[in-house]
Amino acid sequence: MDRFWNPVHTIVGDGAAAETANVLRQMGAQGKNVLLLVWNNALLEREGFAGLLANQDFKVTPYCFQASNPTVGQLFETYRQTRELRPAAVVAVGGGSILDVGKSLCCLYGADISSEEELRAAIREKTLPSPAARWIGIPTTAGTGSEVTCWATIWDPDKNAKLSVESKENYAYAALVDPSLAAGMPVSLAVSSGLDAVAHAVESYWAKASNTVSKGLALRAVDIIMKDMDRLTDGCPDAHLSMAQGSMLAGMAFSNTKTTACHSISYPLTMRYNIPHGAAVSMLLAPVMSLNAPMIEDLPALLRALGLDSLDEVGPRVRELLKKAGLPSSLREWGIKEEDLPELAGLGMTKGRADNNPHELNEQIILEILRSIY
Ligand SMILES: NC(=O)c1ccc[n+]([C@@H]2O[C@H](COP(=O)([O-])OP(=O)(O)OC[C@H]3O[C@@H](n4cnc5c(N)ncnc54)[C@H](O)[C@@H]3O)[C@@H](O)[C@H]2O)c1
Ligand SMILES: [Fe+2]
């Protein structure tokens, strides 16, 4: 039986962020504390957010969180500094990192956590309570789809681990997807986040957990993004709308299916070598697609959505896009030593991702995949 569920209201288009006050009213947040989490203080001067700060209907407190790939320590510090507010709503404005922090805070506010160690244990042992606040996601990158998923990635570099704060009760109340927030973004960031979204959609399409609805969303996401990728690398501002739409659709697709081998194998590449997440997953697309090919339903439809005629074209197309964005496209160029590959292969089996890949994965297969993109 096919089942699909995603409860997030979505508003997409230029100016969507200006809907924040209306959405907060729909949520019943009048007279209550609202935490406005932003990736950059300059955002607070933009019309929509300046208006929100001045709005007497809500008690809005701004908080700037600038780090990328948030760690347990950074999440604990943000919780410590904001917990007294007991906000009824968190408005998170930023890339996946900020959305994931805002999303996690909603679960943390219902708990009494006094140290980073306690937080680490609660995330690992999945003992965080139900969310005590609702959140609104306003993405400023088009890639992660975090605005429509119910899990948040929190990194634990000291322990070489990627943790996940997840709760089916913690979907955003609404996603306000406003491509004008991406204006002026460096092309390298736009391309690496766009390729992350492509990987979400492609992996969702072939995931063991895929279903009719998620497959439809995934194909459409790949098509919308790939059709406008060249215009994005050429710096056309209106390409951000396609990226925003496609990234959200990809997020919807993988919110129900999770990702597979590309994401699983990519995590140690990002943790150990700081390879941007989107660049890491996209380099893995071609070898993983070749591995999975016999098990992919209607492979020609997936290739068509990618704008390609054959499997052999996937690797060169990804490399071409990374190159246009000024990003390396092989593990060697990212500074990885060949003798480190076996250890990276050993770290590439992530539970819930590796076992969701249609083709079986093991360390030897992962090592061959890593060698093929060295
Ligand atoms: N929760 C999920 O479903 C999910 C899915 C995929 C990835 N993730 C996580 O999301 C994080 C990565 O998110 P990301 O790729 O969006 O990057 P990010 O949020 O880490 O941001 C990357 C950089 O871009 C800057 N930035 C953000 N918006 C910008 C803009 N409009 N213009 C210029 N610069 C801008 C940030 O300040 C940061 O320096 C990782 O921690 C990853 O694991 C979460
Ligand atoms: Fe991703």
> What are the tens digits of pLDDT across the range 107-138?
999 999 999 999 999 999 999 999 999 999 99
Say if ligand 1 is within 6 A of residue 148 CB. no
Domain with residues 9-180, CATH architecture? 3-Layer(aba) Sandwich (3.40)
Count Cβ atoms within 10 A of the Cβ of residue 194 and give its class: 0-12 exposed, 13-18 middle, 19 or more buried. Answer: buried
Any residues with CB less than 8 A from the CB of 101 and at least 6 apart, and which? 37, 65, 70, 74, 75, 78, 92, 152
Distance (Å) from CA 298 to ligand 1 centroid: 32
- Contact between 282 and 269 under an 8 Å Cβ cutoff? The reply is no
Q: Which ligand is nearest to the CA of 188?
A: 1
**Share of residues in the chain with pLDDT > 70 (%):** 100
Calculate the average pLDDT of the chain: 96
Distance (Å) from CA 40 to ligand 1 centroid: 12
Say if ligand 1 is within 6 A of residue 141 CB. yes
Domain with CATH 1.20.1090.10 in the chain: 187-372
The whole model's pTM is what? 0.96
- Contact between 87 and 33 under an 8 Å Cβ cutoff? The reply is yes
Mutation probe of ligand 1 site: the residue of 64, 68, 123, 258 with most atoms within 8 A of C-beta: 68
Whether the pLDDT of residue 47 is over 90: the answer is no
Whether the pLDDT of residue 157 is over 90: the answer is no
Distance (Å) from CA 188 to ligand 2 centroid: 16
Count Cβ atoms within 10 A of the Cβ of residue 184 and give its class: 0-12 exposed, 13-18 middle, 19 or more buried. Answer: exposed
Closest by Cα among 13, 64, 20 to 39: 64
Mutation probe of ligand 1 site: the residue of 141, 203, 248 with most atoms within 8 A of C-beta: 141
The pocket of ion ligand 2, defined by CB under 5 A, consists of 196
Sign of the four-CA dihedral 140, 144, 146, 149 = positive
Whether the pLDDT of residue 87 is over 90: the answer is yes
Sign of the four-CA dihedral 68, 72, 73, 76 = positive
Domain with CATH 3.40.50.1970 in the chain: 9-180
Distance CA 81, CA 138 (A): 22
Domain 187-372 has CATH 2.40.30.260: no
pLDDT in the model for residue 160: 80
